Structure 1
């Protein structure tokens, strides 16, 4: 085993306990306590494959992973955003910006918290196909929750073997078409003009499984100027060419034709009216249009105890975004890239892996060797956001270039199981290349063409000890690698072209954990972690409507994660998740002193739910979400987003009549109408850091399905 890392004191929320001592105390108590069942029925977990790439129980792996099951009847809510279903995972903070132009803000153990738009620092995968660009920028909006069977979230050292930007891995698995064919339709509506209509069909016929889904969502938004419309479509076909193989065909599309962007507001505006919008977004009609379509295929074939898995995908994404960059700023600076971003992205990728399993003596060896190749090419333009004195329209060309990003990553993983011990080893070599071909060379605006390549080998090692049949202890360690995204490279101070001098951030991660069953109906997972990073990518400044970045020194993240679920009675169950984390700059840089908190990362994040099923076909649940205060910039000198605690309530019902099934849902979010800031824009210009959350929101709907 590797040596246990030295852990700094845990945050003030638990000032008298160090993570290692707390973990050891709990482990000893659970190992010796007489409340542990000798052989519980493990009905509280599901099989997972994220991390190991083979199906395995999450109880039997040396890393932190949670599988979130989604019911086919959609009983949790609207299923528009993954923020609806991931609060139960410790270490994960999913904030709904209430701004569909910028997607969700997702962070895992602090990775990804600085993202001003989209998801970065966290690897997104859907049905084995990346939803993250090779540079590490992803879009959770492409996840189709209506067809999702489960979502797996991997945190810690073993996430790094998924390559660049894998501070964590969020992987969605859609349902396979099984059983008798059935069709369904549903309508949900709520406040602020919220409406979702969906139709679908799924099942199996003549050995071919199919899942088809289409939906339309729209909302006026609670904040002024925050309306959005979204259309999604999904198709999945599964078939078996022979008894040893399986072929899955996938296609999906997303369209947001006109999405308002209310942007952030400053503290004074938030105190005066949290639903207000600054003048600039209204003047320039800030908005975004998105068209995204992709298709893929996954093939798996068995050769005895071995397996070959091959996947391929391709797609196209078009985005036009109108920003609020001032007209005079663009006129006075001939090197400025303009206030309208427009690009057409073609992307594709291939992946292949061989999984071999061998019984060797008294042990079992599983080896996975694979290669991932991903490529994205952007035909990108920038335009002025004015014509004459008319604002918010596409004007003269100010940028014209092709950005190409490729990554080629071979990897090997091995697991040795013998007796009460499991040893896991993984290593990946990432090779990420950025290439810029500048075609806009006018006057003083010179040729900004160039390229940069980042390489890193990231190993991870883990060991699991089966103390008893109901208690496992584990430890793991690994190194991480996080390149700048294209958006972070795109601008430098004083508009001097691409910031090719920006270095990747690297990290060393350590984790100790426990997984236990208490009695026959309770599951508890506990993890203590520490992450040491250097060359952290941080906001350097903001001018001319552009944010540019630099490398900081060392950072430190350490904390405790706890997840538990239990069946209190036959009709009452409870779940909870708690994260206490200290995330600080461990070395001064510029005017930022050592010890400042990393912005965007709450010290405490907690979630709990109690569900009651008084009778078959009827359930109700109360959930509580808590976030501690959050700093908004590196200097920690602006007003921090205050802590908040929200309560949500829902009730769902289901009836069956012959081949028909009917479902009803009523949900109230922010039950007590608490004013709060749901997310922050780290280092935003003009101090517009704050994105307010909605007040009390009521919505409900009905769904019907028919089985043939």
Structure 2
């Protein structure tokens, strides 16, 4: 391990905190009072919202980054841990206050939304890869009780907003390249003509991959049209697509393999003819994805009232080849090693907002209805024919899986004097219907309904113009995802007996502006959950779940942003989290830590830019404490780490041309560390190594006509 850089990493973190103690700040550098819509569903100053909500703006999203993964942008948000698996076949692992860390692939426990359209299906499973970061104007991250008003999840809401079309036509070309064969090209155009604004983007990303057998190619496109038919209305139409064919899956490895070589794959010990071949190579583990969606949002104002309707639809096709031993007899209902499904999804969210005087204050009311549906035509096949692996074999599974949700909701805000009082209510019904067409192993058809009411109460008090304090409480719930009901026990038929996890969220916080140059948000929270969903067994690409005992999450989040002494700036995000099983079950003792959840995370940034913003540089640090990969905390935990990153950037305007260039070195001191863990893997292949020192260079040119 390379540990000699720890002192400089700590120094970078302390540098990020230094502005909080600085004197004589420049009053002209007042932090912007950012406006958000996540949480209240209408424009609201984040400073005056009784909730933990952070905004990552376009300058942070594109801060000398290739804009490939949301992990690049979300590292500076407290309470959120984004693990880059170095595996584009499985997407990022995102958790919020410990929710979502158990996800085997994709994102669950956290609701994802892009331009008002869910990137999370009705069952609670989402895909962060569908976010188009090249067009992002901002990302809003909501945590805590207020997220209960968004339905089936427990951890929070991550909502991306693309920028609006420019007034004059522009064309932008962006190219970047870096370590491990990474290169990306992005082209976008924007403008407004005859009252119609347009924004079009297309990109291609390629990588050989840091880990063995992890090469990927991703093609992505997005389009946005905006028009105002009348002075009181606005129509926004968006469409996007993602294509990833034969994306290699490197799988997890044992701790001994990672220690030997962080880039290596796990050797297939069942193949005596080729003892050096890895499981990923032998079974050619890979995944192909085609995803398309479109949606429209109509907004109509009636004086101070507003009607907003969003409708969307799309389709997703996935073929995934998993690893398993041929000697392994696939249990009834299992996919057999190859997953192949076509998904259609659609939904609508309609809400009405109005503001009325009440006593000596103002009452703002939002009432709405959200409907969602996804339908999978799902088949499964053996991952071999004869002695050849990695090819589609015999049919082992054939079914239709439907998930529907119906969610009416209401939210009220009463602002009077220095008080803002909030109440909300959402009733959620999520229904799973399975029609089994493969009857050789019996009929696994069935259905299950989950219903829950989630109330919210919140209060904010304005002590003075620069200090607000607040408290909030809510009940939340989280159903199993479709993938979590697929198997029961060691891989048998559907597990319709899984219960939804129910949670109680409490939060107390403060928001302050210090010296007109430093903004600090701090929150203390507690979440108690019953019937927590945990991994029961995970082997050969098949994971089953069960309900465990109660869990307890208690934590502190602090975020600070500062600009001071001319052109210097700093940012700090600190999370302390105690996430444990509050009661024993099976072989798990009371007090055992939740797997995949670090006790503490830290992001620090110390930067500079010249007065004309032509040049800039920043030093970043990212640190996590150790993570256990299993419920019983008996396996080797992924060790804690601290790494430093360095970035530089430059930009210049030459008439109609706007040129940018940047360079970035990640893991500056070449530390060896485990970036993410696969929770509950029965073969103890829990670990996914992160890259050593790596670099990225990029340049862009924008022409305004």
**Band the TM-score falls in, shorter-chain normalisation:** over 0.9
1:71 aligns with 2:68: no
The answer to whether the 8 A contact 2:316-2:343 is kept is yes
Question: C-alpha displacement at 1:191, in angstroms?
Answer: 1.3
SS in 2 for 1:330: coil
What is residue 47 of structure 2 aligned with on the other side?
Answer: 59
What is residue 274 of structure 2 aligned with on the other side?
Answer: none
> How do 1:234-383 residues align onto structure 2 when only pairs under 5 Å count?
234-278=222-266, 279-330=278-329, 333=331, 335-383=333-381
| Superposition RMSD in Å | 1.7
The answer to whether the 8 A contact 1:151-1:173 is kept is yes
CA 1:661–1:36: 2 relative to 1, 3 Å: closer
Question: C-alpha displacement at 1:546, in angstroms?
Answer: 1.9
Please, which of 623, 628, 639 is the counterpart of residue 626 of structure 1? 623
> How do 1:371-410 residues align onto structure 2 when only pairs under 5 Å count?
371-410=369-408
Between stretches 568-577 and 536-545, larger displacement belongs to: 536-545
> CA separation in 2, counterparts of 1:411 and 1:696?
48
> CA separation in 1, counterparts of 2:636 and 2:416?
54
> CA separation in 2, counterparts of 1:66 and 1:72?
12
> CA separation in 2, counterparts of 1:634 and 1:564?
33
Question: C-alpha displacement at 1:166, in angstroms?
Answer: 4.1
What is residue 132 of structure 1 aligned with on the other side?
Answer: 120
Question: C-alpha displacement at 1:361, in angstroms?
Answer: 3.3
The answer to whether the 8 A contact 1:135-1:486 is kept is yes
SS in 2 for 1:230: strand
What is residue 416 of structure 2 aligned with on the other side?
Answer: 418
1:507 aligns with 2:483: no
SS in 2 for 1:640: coil
How many residue pairs match? The answer is 674
SS in 2 for 1:684: coil
1:110 aligns with 2:101: no
SS in 1 for 2:703: strand
Gaps of 5+ in 2: 1-19, 267-277
> CA separation in 2, counterparts of 1:35 and 1:501?
60
The answer to whether the 8 A contact 1:36-1:470 is kept is no
> CA separation in 1, counterparts of 2:578 and 2:650?
42
The answer to whether the 8 A contact 2:322-2:540 is kept is no
SS in 1 for 2:576: strand
What is residue 6 of structure 1 aligned with on the other side?
Answer: none
What is residue 227 of structure 1 aligned with on the other side?
Answer: 215
SS in 1 for 2:324: coil
Please, which of 678, 692, 695 is the counterpart of residue 695 of structure 1? 692
Question: C-alpha displacement at 1:540, in angstroms?
Answer: 1.3
What is residue 465 of structure 2 aligned with on the other side?
Answer: 469
Please, which of 634, 647, 650 is the counterpart of residue 650 of structure 1? 647
What is residue 666 of structure 1 aligned with on the other side?
Answer: 663
> CA separation in 1, counterparts of 2:405 and 2:392?
33
1:431 aligns with 2:419: no
1:80 aligns with 2:68: yes
The answer to whether the 8 A contact 1:198-1:213 is kept is yes
Normalising by structure 2, we get a TM-score of 0.94
1:175 aligns with 2:173: no
1:546 aligns with 2:542: yes
> CA separation in 1, counterparts of 2:562 and 2:529?
36
Please, which of 170, 184, 200 is the counterpart of residue 196 of structure 1? 184
CA 1:223–1:495: 2 relative to 1, 3 Å: closer
CA 1:322–1:423: 2 relative to 1, 3 Å: same
The answer to whether the 8 A contact 1:354-1:370 is kept is yes
> CA separation in 2, counterparts of 1:80 and 1:495?
35
CA 1:72–1:605: 2 relative to 1, 3 Å: closer
The answer to whether the 8 A contact 1:143-1:172 is kept is yes
> CA separation in 2, counterparts of 1:361 and 1:558?
38
Question: C-alpha displacement at 1:41, in angstroms?
Answer: 7.2
Normalising by structure 1, we get a TM-score of 0.93
SS in 2 for 1:686: coil
What is residue 199 of structure 2 aligned with on the other side?
Answer: 211
> CA separation in 2, counterparts of 1:144 and 1:426?
31
The answer to whether the 8 A contact 2:300-2:306 is kept is yes
